[in-house]
Amino acid sequence: MRHHPPSAGPRFRRTPRSRLVGVLLAAAALVASAVPTALARTPDEPSETPPPATVGGRTLPYLNPHLPVERRVSDLLSRMTLTEKVGQMTQAERGAVDSDPSQITSLGLGSLLSGGGSTPTPNTPQAWADMIDGYQSHALATRLHIPLLYGIDSVHGDNNLVGATIFPHNIAMGATRDPALVRDEEHITATETRATGPQWVFAACLCVTRDKRWGRTYESFGEDPQLVARMETAIDGFQGTNPQDLARPDHVLATAKHYAGDGDTTYGTSTTNSYTLDQGVTITDHQHFDRIDLAPYVPAVRRHHVGSIMPSYSSVQWTDGGDGKPVRMSANKELLTDVLKEKIGFQGFLISDWEAIHELPGDYPTEVRTAVNAGLDMFMEPYEASQFESTLISEVQAGRVPVSRIDDAVRRILRAKFELGLFEHPYTDRRNIPTIGSPAHRAVARRAVAESQVLLKNAQGALPLKPSQRIYVAGVNADNIGNQAGGWTVTWQGQSGNTIPGTTILQGIEQDASHVTYSADASAPTSGYDVGVVVVGETPYAEGIGDVGNNGHTLNLSSADRANIDRVCGAISRCVVLDVAGRPQIVTDELPKMDAFVMSWLPGSEGEGVADVLFGKRPFTGKLPVTWPRTEGQEPINIGDRHYDPLFPYGYGITTSHHGR
């Protein structure tokens, strides 16, 4: 989602205009038939039971798996009423229908999603699959038995599920410069996600981050659109490399987001906060926009055939044409239809971000009409599904939204459902549940952590560490798996503490050294140690909170982190500092105090990967995916700038030898 909440993944910080209560608006066409016996299935029954292949004794073309997808889509579309079509364009949050799932049937909902932290109880793979299969049974009770598409924010693993493999965030994966590893990571994510029910993920984020003050910097692979494009192997990991792969139990529909320019907004242009960049305005000319912001979406569509795209909350304001006023992406027909669908050739469907159309000017009918006519196909209206459907139906009946636009949107959505094999296998294929969080999957995550570590300073051979050394470890982030996982981990914002299974950085160090002392605040005596390791950084955030950092409106280290560096590096002859954060922090004054400095990013659940490079079991190979500023006042600073004088340039990273000692 814009991830959603407002971003792309559901968030819960906004107050919806209304909530679904009771039995929502029913459409007569959706309740015209009784539920077939074949659909009366409990979640525990085999997942292979398909909807009936015949109606009235004859097989309908859209239910015939041997026919081409396009013919099946055309046949089904020809049988649908306007109400049924609008239902397919509607996505609700599971929390809005959970108390009365019959709303799925009465509204003919095409999709449900789980926002960040919207999980079943207990939060287990079996409970997820049972929950989603239960919702699916209500979708299959509609007249035409159209299956439900379920979406979720699997942005660094199946991160809503406790026990899933949690990978480093995208900024760290950009540091690996390893497209094959990114593909493998997302294939694991797809496998773990689909095993629990969801067939669709709101990932990968193709934003090009151009200002590290942006609270969503961690969602980007980097500041160079060419690097972002290289990492679009993520889409192949999710979807596979041919259309037949989508129907397999180890693949999901991917979402490229947030189209386009969300990482290139101008500081101070946000509509929600004067000092933020999130949901701001990209003030640019067409040439710059095409070269930086639009560039990653071209290969995503033409080479990787991404199935869905999520437009950004942000706006674009042209400096070389138009009326000079910012236009929200959800209303931008030029970029959604003229450029993306027609010029670039996108054949998938566009899904709005969480309540994104509510940001548009005008009353609700105007918001709906504007967004549909601009090119949006499915609408994430978490708590207003009924109002959305009735409003859009009225707009079509009044002639303000063409039926052809509705048909185009529904055709795109149905195509994805057929390609996912949902008409033949609507229920969860649970065969891969045993692989969730498996040693094999965690080994890939551990490798990703190791490859993402960027060694920025290494004086006097401070690294690698030796198992025989007496090591003093300080800093809260050394032993806090919630902090090292970051946002979008179990909940939208993420949370400090022991939130997921895994290994902290401290535990990884303790596995490799026999003499380790840990003091979170560096208050324990420092004498008698060979090396000090100070782990600094950020605490979890998703977007808005991240925009202002955890230390006021700055990228600076916290006072506690600076104090830990001063105490440990001032007392122990060799001092190594690790930064666990979603973006570069200002360390210019602290850097001379350190012998070694490592950017660890947000490594996720496998802290041993950090220890692997610290002790030389794996070499340092990571390279900066973004420019590291000397001061916050340098932002925005990016490779190619005319006056470029960073603390560390884009692409910098000291490489070490394997097993170096």
CA 635 – CA 641 distance, rounded (Å): 11
Shared domain for 400 and 443, answered yes or no, is no
**Of 160, 196, 116, nearest in space to 436 by CA:** 196
Shared domain for 478 and 582, answered yes or no, is yes
Banded pLDDT at 1 (limits 50, 70, 90): low
Shared domain for 415 and 474, answered yes or no, is no
pLDDT in tens, 107-120: 999 999 999 999 99
Q: What is the pLDDT of residue 658?
A: 63
Q: Summarize the confidence of residues 427-454 as an average pLDDT.
A: 98
**Of 530, 442, 543, nearest in space to 493 by CA:** 543
DSSP string, 526-549: -TT-SEEEEEEE-----SHHHHT-
CA 209 – CA 214 distance, rounded (Å): 8
Q: In this structure, which amino acid lies at residue 64?
A: N
List Cα–Cα distances, 179 to 174, 236, 291, 351, 374, in angstroms. 9, 10, 21, 26, 34
Shared domain for 215 and 84, answered yes or no, is yes
**Of 292, 293, 208, 203, nearest in space to 256 by CA:** 203
Residue 76 corresponds to which tokens in the numbers above?
């089904």
The total number of residues written for the chain in this structure: 661
Shared domain for 118 and 221, answered yes or no, is yes
Banded pLDDT at 53 (limits 50, 70, 90): low
Q: Is 546 helix (H, G, I), strand (E, B) or coil?
A: helix
56 inside domain: no
Asked if 612 and 446 touch (Cβ cutoff 8 Å), the reply is yes
Q: Cis peptide before 299, with omega less than 30 degrees from 0?
A: no
- Return the bridge partners of 16, or none: none
User: Per the structure, how many domains does the chain have?
Assistant: 2
pLDDT reading at 10 higher than 80: no
- Element containing residue 597 per DSSP (H, E): strand 596-599
Shared domain for 408 and 450, answered yes or no, is no
Shared domain for 550 and 619, answered yes or no, is yes
Q: Summarize the confidence of residues 607-613 as an average pLDDT.
A: 98
Would you put residue 370 in left (φ > 0), alpha (ψ -120 to 50) or beta?
A: alpha
CA 105 – CA 87 distance, rounded (Å): 10
In the listed set 393, 421, 449, which residue is the last one of a domain according to the structure?
Answer: 421
pLDDT in tens, 258-292: 999 999 999 877 665 544 677 899 999 999 999 99
Mean pLDDT over each residue of the chain, to the nearest integer: 91
259 inside domain: yes
Q: Is 155 helix (H, G, I), strand (E, B) or coil?
A: coil
CA 237 – CA 235 distance, rounded (Å): 5
Q: What is the pLDDT of residue 463?
A: 98
List Cα–Cα distances, 99 to 23, 44, 404, 423, in angstroms. 10, 20, 35, 26
276 inside domain: yes
Shared domain for 508 and 373, answered yes or no, is no
pLDDT in tens, 331-345: 999 999 999 999 999
Banded pLDDT at 524 (limits 50, 70, 90): very high
Banded pLDDT at 36 (limits 50, 70, 90): very low
Distance of CA 365 to the CA centre of its chain: 30
Question: Please, where are the H alpha helices in 475-522?
Answer: 481-485, 505-512
Sign of the torsion formed by the C-alpha atoms of 269, 270, 276 and 282: negative
- Name the residues annotated as catalytic: 353, 543
Kindly list the strands in the beta sheet with 349-350, ordered across the sheet, starting from the edge strand earlier in the chain.
255-259, 308-311, 349-350
Banded pLDDT at 362 (limits 50, 70, 90): very high
pTM of the model as a whole: 0.92
Q: What is the CATH number of the domain that holds 551?
A: 3.40.50.1700
pLDDT reading at 221 higher than 50: yes
Asked if 253 and 200 touch (Cβ cutoff 8 Å), the reply is yes
Asked if 220 and 228 touch (Cβ cutoff 8 Å), the reply is yes
Q: For residue 278, give its domain range.
A: 69-154+198-421
Strand 255-259 with 90-93, pairing: unpaired
Q: What is the CATH number of the domain that holds 275?
A: 3.20.20.300
pLDDT reading at 38 higher than 60: no
Shared domain for 481 and 352, answered yes or no, is no
29 inside domain: no
Kindly list the strands in the beta sheet with 315-318, ordered across the sheet, starting from the edge strand earlier in the chain.
281-284, 315-318, 327-328
Q: Is 528 helix (H, G, I), strand (E, B) or coil?
A: coil
Which residue in this structure is represented by tokens 């015949």?
54
Q: Residue 205 burial by CB count (10 A; 0-12/13-18/19+): exposed, middle or buried?
A: buried
Asked if 1 and 9 touch (Cβ cutoff 8 Å), the reply is yes
Q: In this structure, which amino acid lies at residue 98?
A: D
pLDDT reading at 45 higher than 50: no
Q: Is 90 helix (H, G, I), strand (E, B) or coil?
A: strand
pLDDT reading at 310 higher than 70: yes
Q: In this structure, which amino acid lies at residue 314?
A: S
Which residue in this structure is represented by tokens 């509609």?
142
428 inside domain: no
Q: Cis peptide before 66, with omega less than 30 degrees from 0?
A: no
pLDDT reading at 4 higher than 70: no
135 inside domain: yes
Q: What is the pLDDT of residue 148?
A: 98
pLDDT in tens, 82-103: 999 999 999 999 999 999 999 9
Q: Summarize the confidence of residues 481-496 as an average pLDDT.
A: 97
Strand 315-318 with 281-284, pairing: parallel
Asked if 197 and 248 touch (Cβ cutoff 8 Å), the reply is no
pLDDT reading at 354 higher than 60: yes
Residue 336 corresponds to which tokens in the numbers above?
């959604």
Asked if 620 and 450 touch (Cβ cutoff 8 Å), the reply is no
Q: What is the pLDDT of residue 273?
A: 55
Q: What is the pLDDT of residue 57?
A: 67
Q: For residue 231, how many C-alpha atoms fall within 13 Å in the half-sphere facing its CB?
A: 31
42 inside domain: no
Asked if 564 and 607 touch (Cβ cutoff 8 Å), the reply is no
**Of 489, 606, 608, 505, nearest in space to 540 by CA:** 489
Q: What percent of the chain has pLDDT over 90?
A: 85
Shared domain for 411 and 448, answered yes or no, is no
Shared domain for 338 and 479, answered yes or no, is no
In the listed set 386, 421, 456, which residue is the last one of a domain according to the structure?
Answer: 421
- Return the bridge partners of 311, or none: 259
DSSP state of 473: E
Shared domain for 331 and 444, answered yes or no, is no
52 inside domain: no
Would you put residue 261 in left (φ > 0), alpha (ψ -120 to 50) or beta?
A: left
Banded pLDDT at 58 (limits 50, 70, 90): confident
- Element containing residue 518 per DSSP (H, E): strand 515-519
Q: What is the pLDDT of residue 472?
A: 98
Q: What percent of the chain has pLDDT over 70?
A: 89
